[in-house]
Amino acid sequence: MASEERRHFYGSEHLNRAAERRSDAAWIEARLELATTRLVPVWECRNLLRLDPEPAAGFLRRDEVEDGELARSLPVFLGLDGDDIAWFAVLFDGDEPPALQSDEAVRFAGLRRSGPLLERKAAGMLAFARAMANWHATNRYCGACGAPTRVRDAGWLRCCTAPSCGREHFPRMDPAVIMRVTYRDRILLGRQAAWPPLWYSVLAGFVEPGESLEDAVRREVREEVGVTVTRVRYDSSQPWPFPQSLMLGFSAVAVDDAIRCDGRELEDARWFDRAQIQAARDAGTLRLSPKASISRHLIDSWLQHPDGT
Ligand SMILES: [Zn+2]
């Protein structure tokens, strides 16, 4: 079932990141001023969205943003699309959203709710911009010495301003493992108390320092449900911009089916066979994670392959 070519929602594979251009300040500045350039505004980690008549991304042209507003933004070069058009995230902070000139009825809103409703490429662009916004918002000060940091390389580097330190900080993501655990013809699904009613998903957790991905899979499953797993296999990955995770998908096989739910991270966990999932969904007593998530991919690919694990 593993697929090396699988591309998940919130990816940005359609964009050439042109990383070699990031340190070319003159090129970056010229591209930012071009009329064809597209801007992806983010204010306080909220994306610009058009919510009527249907949800869509609020991309703007350069002339739709006043010079004064652009001057108070932090531009981050995202890359070049297939038409050689440059895309920039423009990051704003403060109590008031920026005044943006646009014909469309747009507003800043959270991506978590609207994201899955967007066209795939647009969702990937917004997720990319949001992840960069979150990284900048949490790296204004040097983690080593506490001095302010200064932005360089088109938003891809923050340098510590203390001469005695000068440490360079690069954008990062937080690796998390997410795993489909099966035992014979059943899959293990659990739910957190904070989730919407009837919602079940595969297990997941952050990778800890000093740990391999496979170790993280084994530890999380043992901690959350007391199950020992073997045959840990990589499936695929998904950038998940809430706020800056990289979800690394795995499958694993349980050595037995005894569950000991920790009651802390999960309020319930159960084994389901394919017929039980079908019946529960038909009866409206089970909801699976959203279609846009790798979690749902791990469940669906198992549902669709009765012979697989
Ligand atoms: Zn420092």
* Contact predicate 90/70, CB 8 Å: yes
In the prediction, which pLDDT does 104 show?
A: 67
pLDDT, tens digit, 9 for 90 and up, residues 121-179: 999 999 999 999 999 999 999 999 999 999 999 999 999 999 999 999 999 999 999 99
pLDDT at 306 over 80: no
Tell me the CA distances in angstroms from 114 to 110, 146, 289, 292, one per residue in order. Answer: 7, 36, 15, 11
pLDDT, tens digit, 9 for 90 and up, residues 212-261: 999 999 999 999 999 999 999 999 999 999 888 999 999 999 999 999 98
Which carries the bigger pLDDT value, residue 26 or residue 99? 26
Closest CA to 298 of 230, 203, 206: 203
Quote the ligand 1 centre to 89 CA distance (angstroms): 26
Structure tokens at 283: 């009866």
pLDDT at 4 over 60: no
In the prediction, which pLDDT does 64 show?
A: 86
Tell me the CA distances in angstroms from 57 to 1, 117, 227, 250, 294, one per residue in order. Answer: 33, 10, 42, 31, 22
| Region 271-300 average pLDDT | 95
In the prediction, which pLDDT does 261 show?
A: 87
In the prediction, which pLDDT does 308 show?
A: 59
Quote the ligand 1 centre to 151 CA distance (angstroms): 13
Tell me what percent of the residues of the chain surpass a pLDDT of 90.
82
Quote the ligand 1 centre to 172 CA distance (angstroms): 17
Quote the ligand 1 centre to 165 CA distance (angstroms): 4
Quote the ligand 1 centre to 278 CA distance (angstroms): 55
Mean model confidence pLDDT for the chain = 93
In the prediction, which pLDDT does 37 show?
A: 96
pLDDT at 117 over 80: yes
Tell me what percent of the residues of the chain surpass a pLDDT of 70.
96
Quote the ligand 1 centre to 159 CA distance (angstroms): 8
pLDDT, tens digit, 9 for 90 and up, residues 22-72: 999 999 999 999 999 999 999 999 999 987 788 899 999 988 888 899 999
First to last CA, the chain: 8
Cβ-based neighbour number of residue 68 at 10 Å: 9
Closest CA to 137 of 86, 107, 129, 167: 129
* Contact predicate 62/111, CB 8 Å: no
Quote the ligand 1 centre to 176 CA distance (angstroms): 28
In the prediction, which pLDDT does 91 show?
A: 97
Q: How confident is the model at residue 102 (pLDDT cuts 50, 70, 90)?
A: low
Cβ-based neighbour number of residue 117 at 10 Å: 13
Model's pTM, two decimal places? 0.92
Quote the ligand 1 centre to 135 CA distance (angstroms): 17
